Amino acid sequence: MLALKNTLDAVFAAGAVPAEAGEFTKRAFLNGKIDLTQAESVAQIISAQGDAELKASFNALHGVLSDEINSVLSRLLDMSALMAAWVDYPDEEIPELSETELEATLKEAASKLKKLLDNYESGQTITCGVDTVIAGRPNAGKSSLMNMLSKTEKSIVTHIEGTTRDIVEDSVRLGDIVLHLKDTAGLRNSDDFVEAIGIEKAYNAIENAHLILAVFDLSQELSADDFNLIEKCSGKNAVAVINKTDLEAKMDASIIEKAFGSTVYISAKNNEGLEELSKAVYNLLGVADFDSNAPLLANLRQKQNCRRAYESICEAISGVQMGITFDAINVMIDSAADELLSLTGKKATTEVVNNIFSKFCVGK
């Protein structure tokens, strides 16, 4: 270690400086080798947690998103130049752009951006994972489900009600999706002060979850606590997980099936039903048909630029339909083009660029 320290001291004394976060990728961007979306994909490749996320990030690095954005941008800039020339030099023999042609081109551009925006949420599900709460009454099998998903004894499992009092967390892969799991205290009325705190935490977790795995005990009749959970899940992304199929059924499962859009049957004890649960989660979250080869907006910055560009193009389409002047429409088109130039980094501010690369690992 001393030899290494002395070597580094000598190198720094000679004028060398330590590499900053993302320095090599930043140099590639500043030298025009890659655009900003490709630079951001480097960090995504490093942090990828699943095959689909890794493939989507590699595609972004190879320019799949850049090509889609640039194809829209090219058409907008061509239209803008033609309209500006036609407005500024009316006496010149410049081909006139018809309103029909202009509207069709704008609608095509809007359609491409709308598709990117529509795919954003499913892409985020793949790339960022899903905040998932496992909820249910005591002894429904929540902790057993947690252990089944995590493939470890993450949560303590006993026959004693109220065993889980605080939230137990883990991140697990369910196919290409990462679930950020929270195993919560059993939902019931409790006079135990500590358990009551855990139950309150469980309700807060349910309120803020992106996905709820609502666990019910098939071997017991539905209780007031079960109906309370059904109510809490109303209007939320929730899969009803009917557990303990290895025991005699005493519950009227049809009530659960009517209350939830998605219901699966499992035996967490026997590790049965995981494939059905995976399919239900994929379908509920809208990622069953996720195409990792398609261009994908990777983060909120890209989405915001794309959203503003899309809105400006929609305004331009409305303007054409209302018959407003071409110079006014051109302002809207230029606004959309500026947003797309910012998205790819050709017009990004220094603050935006520095913020992006500050999140990289040292070097890279």
pLDDT in tens, 10-62: 777 787 666 666 677 778 778 888 889 998 888 888 877 777 778 888 888 89
Instruction: Estimate the crossing angle of helix 99-118 against helix 326-344, to 10 degrees.
Output: 30
Q: Do 221 and 239 have their domain in common?
A: yes
Domain presence at residue 14: no
Which residue, 285, 312, 337, sits at the end of a domain?
285
Band of the pLDDT at 363, cuts 50, 70, 90?
Answer: low
Q: Do 166 and 222 have their domain in common?
A: yes
Cα 232 from chain centre: 24
Higher pLDDT, 53 or 314: 314
Domain presence at residue 241: yes
Domain presence at residue 88: yes
Domain presence at residue 235: yes
Question: Amino acid identity, residue 1?
Answer: M
pLDDT of residue 164: 47
Which residue, 224, 259, 285, sits at the end of a domain?
285
Q: Where in the sequence is the domain holding 302, given as residue range(s)? A: 23-119+295-357
Domain presence at residue 16: no
In angstroms, the CA 128 to CA 180 distance is 10
Domain presence at residue 7: no
pLDDT of residue 184: 84
pLDDT in tens, 114-124: 999 998 988 88
pLDDT in tens, 160-169: 444 444 578 8
CA distances from residue 268 to 53, 142, 242 in whole angstroms, order as listed: 28, 9, 10
Q: Do 312 and 200 have their domain in common?
A: no
Q: Do 199 and 55 have their domain in common?
A: no
pLDDT of residue 341: 94
**Token code pair at residue 324:** 């407003």
Higher pLDDT, 257 or 188: 257
* Percentage of the residues of the chain whose pLDDT score is greater than 70: 84
What HEC string does 170-192 produce?
EEEEECCEEEEEEECCCCCCCCC
Which residue, 235, 261, 285, sits at the end of a domain?
285
In angstroms, the CA 102 to CA 83 distance is 10
pLDDT of residue 357: 65
Q: Do 164 and 258 have their domain in common?
A: yes
In angstroms, the CA 98 to CA 274 distance is 58
- Mean per-residue pLDDT, 220-249: 93
Worst-scoring range by mean pLDDT, 24-28, 99-103, 354-358? 354-358
Residue 177 has pLDDT above 70, yes or no: yes
- Mean per-residue pLDDT, 166-181: 82
Domain presence at residue 6: no
CATH of the domain at 307: 1.20.120.430
Sign of torsion, CA 228 234 236 242?
positive
Band of the pLDDT at 157, cuts 50, 70, 90?
Answer: very low
State how many domains the chain has. 2
pLDDT of residue 272: 94
Q: Do 278 and 149 have their domain in common?
A: yes
Contact 149, 346 (CB under 8 A): no
CATH of the domain at 254: 3.40.50.300
Domain presence at residue 247: yes
In angstroms, the CA 304 to CA 306 distance is 5
Angle value at C-alpha 231, between 227 and 234, nearest 5 degrees:
140
Q: Do 104 and 180 have their domain in common?
A: no
In angstroms, the CA 199 to CA 187 distance is 6
Q: Do 140 and 265 have their domain in common?
A: yes
DSSP SS3 for 212? strand
Higher pLDDT, 276 or 172: 276
- Mean per-residue pLDDT, 210-232: 93
Most confident stretch, 1-5, 24-28, 159-163, 213-217: 213-217
Higher pLDDT, 156 or 193: 193
pTM (2 d.p.): 0.74
Q: Do 206 and 242 have their domain in common?
A: yes
Q: Do 74 and 100 have their domain in common?
A: yes
Residue 199 has pLDDT above 80, yes or no: no
pLDDT of residue 156: 44
Residue 307 has pLDDT above 90, yes or no: yes
CA distances from residue 230 to 6, 222, 256, 257 in whole angstroms, order as listed: 66, 11, 8, 11
In angstroms, the CA 40 to CA 61 distance is 8
Q: Do 97 and 146 have their domain in common?
A: no
**Token code pair at residue 169:** 């967390």
Q: Do 111 and 135 have their domain in common?
A: no
Q: 237 φ, ψ to 5°?
A: -70, 100
pLDDT of residue 23: 72
Worst-scoring range by mean pLDDT, 172-181, 234-243, 300-309? 172-181
